[in-house]
Amino acid sequence: MPELPEVETMRRGIARVAGCAIRDFRRPRSRLQSITITPPPSEFRRRVVGRRIVGVGRIGKRIVLELNSGDRIVLAPRMAGLVLLADPPDRGHLRVVFELSGLAKQLLFWDRRGLGVVRLVSAAEFEGRYGPKKIGPDALEISAAELRSRLAASRRAIKVALLDQRAVAGIGNIYASEMLHRSGIHPAKPCNRLSPPEWRRLHAQMGKVLREAIRRQGSTLRDNTYRPARDEPGEYEFRVYQRDGQRCGRCGRGEIVRIVQAQRSTFFCPACQRDVGRGAC
What tens digit of pLDDT does each residue of 134-154 get?
Answer: 999 999 999 999 999 999 999
Question: What is the residue extent of each domain of the chain?
Answer: 4-130, 144-268
Residue 224 clears pLDDT 70, i.e. is over it: no
Does the annotation mark 61 as catalytic?
yes
Question: Binning pLDDT at 50, 70 and 90, where does residue 277 land?
Answer: very low
| Per-residue confidence (pLDDT) for residue 279, from 0 to 100 | 42
Catalytic hit among 3, 8, 66, 178: 3
The CATH architecture that domain 4-130 belongs to is: Alpha-Beta Barrel (3.20)
Does the 144-268 domain belong in CATH 2.60.120.10? no
Residues 104-115 have a mean pLDDT of 93
Is residue 76 within 8 Å of 2, Cβ to Cβ?
no
Does the annotation mark 99 as catalytic?
no
Does the annotation mark 235 as catalytic?
no
Question: Binning pLDDT at 50, 70 and 90, where does residue 234 land?
Answer: low
Share of the chain above pLDDT 70, in %: 91
| Per-residue confidence (pLDDT) for residue 34, from 0 to 100 | 82
Residues 102-111 have a mean pLDDT of 94
Task: Indicate the average pLDDT of the chain.
Answer: 91
Residue 223 clears pLDDT 80, i.e. is over it: no
Catalytic hit among 2, 5, 77, 187: 2
Which of 22-31, 120-129, 260-269 has the least mean pLDDT? 22-31
Residues 67-75 have a mean pLDDT of 98
Q: What predicted TM-score, i.e. pTM, was given to this entire model?
A: 0.91
Residues 117-121 have a mean pLDDT of 98
Catalytic hit among 16, 247, 264, 274: 264
Residue 272 clears pLDDT 80, i.e. is over it: yes
Residue 53 clears pLDDT 50, i.e. is over it: yes
Is residue 128 within 8 Å of 97, Cβ to Cβ?
no
| Per-residue confidence (pLDDT) for residue 7, from 0 to 100 | 95
Check the CA dihedral 149-144-4-247 and report its sign.
Answer: negative
Is residue 216 within 8 Å of 239, Cβ to Cβ?
no
Does the annotation mark 200 as catalytic?
no
Residue 129 clears pLDDT 90, i.e. is over it: yes
Is residue 110 within 8 Å of 93, Cβ to Cβ?
yes
Encode pLDDT of 152-181 as tens digits: 999 999 999 999 999 999 999 999 999 999
Catalytic hit among 61, 78, 95, 201: 61
Residues 216-225 have a mean pLDDT of 64
Q: Which of 106, 126, 25 is nearest to 66 (CA)?
A: 126
Cβ within 8 Å of residue 158, ≥6 positions away: 151, 180, 185, 186, 187, 188, 189, 190, 191, 194, 202
| Per-residue confidence (pLDDT) for residue 227, from 0 to 100 | 55
Share of the chain above pLDDT 90, in %: 81
